[in-house]
Each structure stands twice: as C-alpha cells, then as structure tokens.
Amino acid sequence: MPKIFINISRKYNKHDYYETSYNNLFKNHGIITYLFFDKNLSTEINQISNNSYTYVFYYNDKIDLINQLKLIKKSDIYYINTFDEVIVLLVNEVKKELWFKISTHYEAFRDKKLQRQLLLEKYPNLTVSYHEIDLEKDEIDSFYNKLSFPYIIKPISWAQSSGVVLINNKTQLEKYLENVDQLDKNLLDRWIDNKKYIIEEYIDWQMYTVNYYVDDNWKANYSPTVKVNSSRNIGIDDFSNYVRISWNIIDREISFEQVKIFLEKQIQTFWLKNTFIHHEFKLNSNWILKNIEINARIGWYRLEMMQNIYNFNLLEMPLWIEMNMNSDFSNAVFVFYPKTTWILNGFNEQLLEQFKNLKSYTWCRISNQKIWHKVWPTKDWFSSLVALRLKNTDTEQFKHDYDFVESKYHELIILDN
C-alpha cells in the first residue's frame, strides 16, 4: 500500500501548484493524495475528480472526518495537512484523535494572546508587549494605562490582516471602536468567531517569513527566508502584505544563522511536533527579531515560490529532503488590494499590458468576478484582487521591473467613485 498524503479543506480552491505538488509526491515517491472537503461548503463538486494520484472525499463534520480517517491504517498516512488557517485547530484535533504526535501548545496557532504569553514566559525578548482588552466593558481612558501610542489593535483569533490597525491617538481609537461590531460580523462571515482583542507594541521595521517542517523530535527542515513588505511602505493605511520577495541579497540584510537561532527558540516554546509552520517575524531597529505570527500551515504563495525558484516541493519536507537554499533567480509576488472600501469598477488594462511586457513578468491572476461588487482593504475585510509575479536571473533587470510595478501599484485597481 502506498503512503497517503491527506489534505483537509473547507472548500475547493483551484490552484495549479497544489496539483503539481501532489503529482510530484506521486511521481518521485509513490505517495498518493486524499483530498477531504467539507460537504456543506463544497459547491463546486463537479470540478473535482479522481485521478491516478489524487482521490476526493467529503466529510459532514469533525466526527465524520475522524471516522473516515480511522479506516486508513495509521502507518499508511504520510502526513495530515491543511492549507487553510481557519481549520488549523480542527486538523490538530483530528491528528490527536488518530494518536499522532502534535504540538503541545497547538491552541496558540489561532490565539495571538496565547502566543505572546508563552513567549513572554520563556523568551520575553522575542515577542512584543501586549494587553488584552475588553471592547465592551473597558473605558477608553483605561487603555492609556496599558500601552502608550502608537500601538496595534487586533483580534485575538487569527484573521490574516482583518481588524489589524495602527492606533496613533484617541480619535483613531474611537473610530475603531465605532466599527468593531461590523468587524466582528465580517470575521464571523469568514468562520472566525472573535470577540476578544489585544493591543500590542508597534514594530515599524522589516518583516520576513520562513516556512519549515518540525518532526516528532523537534528537528526542523527549513526553507529560505522570504522578505515581506507591508502596504504601509507605499502609503496605504493598511497591514496587507503587498509583495513577497525571494532573492539572494536577503542574506545581506539578515543572517539565516540568526533566523535559525530565533526559530529554534520558538520550537522549544511551543513544543512544535509533526507540523508544517508558517512563521512571520520582524527585525526591529535594534536588529532584534520579534515574533509576529506562527501558524501550522504553509504560507500563501510559498508552495509555488519554492517550486519555481528553488525547484523544491515543500510537501517533501517530512522526507528530510533538504532544500538548496540558493537560487539564481530573483522573485517577487505582488498582491494588489483596494485602498478603501468601495465598488470595484475594473482594472487598468493599459497598465496590465505594460506589466505583461516586462522582461521579468511571469504570470498575473485577476479576480474579474469581483467587478461591480463591494471590495475592502484587509483591515476591514480581505479582498486581494490581483496577484502578479516577477522572476529573473538578471538582478538589475529584475530590480528595474520591480521598481516599475511598485511605482504603479496605486494605479491598477479602479474603484467606482
């Protein structure tokens, strides 16, 4: 019987790089893939079909999912995975029911407060100062005694960048509180039940991410560092990440040995086991790394990025196939978000053609189905509308094309005035 890679999702999302990764597991290692979808949410069932290396199943609830997985011999299961951060806890609970080793503090994957609390107890210099707040009971003036401006306010439950806002003064705080009921409703629409918030120290410097796999003995297999730039860098009052960059000169900015020491301390803090990790952290002005997010999944665009730039399938990490950490390619994935909440009119077609004519251009994905619908910046909701990738072995050409796309970032999305 071949080994089985199990991927659990709420609903079907078509991404070619998923298919490529499953195909590579089968072609290189004989591992087949079982895809489990929530029967209540998968409306595109007719688009999914079995083939020689992927098989499709549906579950009604957690109990049904566990019962189906119990029919598979534990020794035949290669790994149980999800790419969906909303069901990270569900997948860990399923692993636990099936007697797989899991991270001791897996609840922290969906709880910002718990992440910071655990780090403060063991490695306080690795995290930010924070306070939990009750937006229904606490008086505004009481916030001043907890943390001075500026600070970040955010939901405790993971919600990507939804509800994450920089607060500089009392007026901005009052405005945030006026909109919190709508924010909670928006989060609930995305299956995120959040009623708790924290305020935390603001780190105004550079963000990086690393994806890695941790085995049952806390040993980690790392992928290269990816640089992530916030929309605030280009004058947008939001915490969406508008570009992810992978190139060799990142090592000149931050040593991977420094990163590795930082990550190993996090592995010890959360007692990570048998899991993929997407880790976001910032380098502050004192050159100290601070934890931002740790979650039990592979990050957005990382699967495809590592395939195309490093010729490596991240799903092979549990086999302890190590990555070549160097590449001749420079790579950037731009993601375009609306600056304000408004109706999407369309996209600047002339500018899109200019992007496509760049020597570093690789592909562009556009959400045309959202035209004439309401769209939001990530702090109010989550509406990425365009993704565009640049890739080149010529560093100077890549930098030229990167600078052009960044300079035109504000001109691509057309909102109806």
199, pLDDT greater than 90: no
353, pLDDT greater than 60: yes
Both 10 and 53 in one domain: the answer is yes
Residue 44 or residue 373, greater confidence: 373
Whole-angstrom distance, CA of residue 42 vs CA of residue 9: 9
Both 95 and 151 in one domain: the answer is no
156, pLDDT greater than 70: yes
Q: How large is the greatest C-alpha to C-alpha distance in the chain, in angstroms?
A: 64
Both 94 and 74 in one domain: the answer is yes
Whole-angstrom distance, CA of residue 61 vs CA of residue 310: 38
Which CATH number covers residue 139? 3.30.1490.20
138, pLDDT greater than 70: no
Residue 396 lies in a domain: yes
Both 299 and 374 in one domain: the answer is yes
Q: How many helices (H) and strands (E) does the chain have?
A: 12, 20
Q: Which two tokens stand for residue 309?
A: 């730039």
268, pLDDT greater than 60: yes
Residue tagged 């924070």 (tokens): 130
pLDDT of residue 192: 60
Q: Which two tokens stand for residue 119?
A: 């780090």
pLDDT-based confidence at residue 46 (cuts at 50, 70, 90): low
Both 164 and 181 in one domain: the answer is yes
Residue 358 lies in a domain: yes
Both 272 and 386 in one domain: the answer is yes
Residue 234, SS3? Answer: helix
224, pLDDT greater than 70: yes
Both 179 and 212 in one domain: the answer is no
Residue 357 lies in a domain: yes
pLDDT of residue 195: 65
As a whole number, mean pLDDT of residues 99-126 equals 93
Residue 397 lies in a domain: yes
Least confident of 103-112, 127-136, 286-295, 311-320: 127-136
Both 168 and 25 in one domain: the answer is no
Residue 20 lies in a domain: yes
Residue 184 lies in a domain: yes
pLDDT of residue 142: 64
Q: Convert the pLDDT of each residue in 74-100 to its tens digit.
A: 999 999 999 998 899 999 999 999 999
Q: Which of 173, 201, 229 is the last residue of a domain?
A: 201
**Model confidence, pTM:** 0.90
Which CATH number covers residue 73? 3.40.50.20
Residue 179 or residue 289, greater confidence: 289
Both 216 and 286 in one domain: the answer is yes
Both 212 and 171 in one domain: the answer is no
pLDDT-based confidence at residue 285 (cuts at 50, 70, 90): confident
Least confident of 159-168, 226-235, 243-252, 390-399: 159-168
Whole-angstrom distance, CA of residue 242 vs CA of residue 235: 12
163, pLDDT greater than 80: no
Both 70 and 135 in one domain: the answer is no
pLDDT-based confidence at residue 175 (cuts at 50, 70, 90): confident
Q: Residue 221: which of 291, 274, 288 has the closest Cα?
A: 274
pLDDT of residue 157: 66
Whole-angstrom distance, CA of residue 90 vs CA of residue 77: 18
Q: Which domain holds residue 87?
A: 4-100
- Show the DSSP H helices in 271-379 as ranges: 302-310, 349-356
pLDDT of residue 23: 94
Q: Are 156 and 194 in contact (CB under 8 A)?
A: yes
Q: Are 244 and 332 in contact (CB under 8 A)?
A: yes
Q: Which of 201, 225, 256 is the last residue of a domain?
A: 201
Mean pLDDT of the residues in the chain: 88
288, pLDDT greater than 70: yes
Task: Name the domain count of the chain.
Answer: 3
pLDDT of residue 258: 93
Angle, helices 62-69 vs 88-97, to 10°: value is: 50
As a whole number, mean pLDDT of residues 369-391 equals 86
Whole-angstrom distance, CA of residue 6 vs CA of residue 1: 15
Residue 318 lies in a domain: yes
Which CATH number covers residue 226? 3.30.470.20
pLDDT of residue 145: 63
Least confident of 48-57, 136-145, 235-244, 388-397: 136-145
341, pLDDT greater than 90: no
**Residue 20, class by beta-carbon neighbours within 10 Å (0-12 exposed, 13-18 middle, 19+ buried)?**
middle
Provide the sign of the torsion angle of the four alpha carbons 59, 60, 66, 71, taken in this order: negative
Both 311 and 369 in one domain: the answer is yes
Residue 111, SS3? Answer: coil
Q: Convert the pLDDT of each residue in 301-322 to its tens digit.
A: 899 999 989 999 999 999 998 7
Q: Which of 145, 172, 201 is the last residue of a domain?
A: 201
Residue 338 lies in a domain: yes
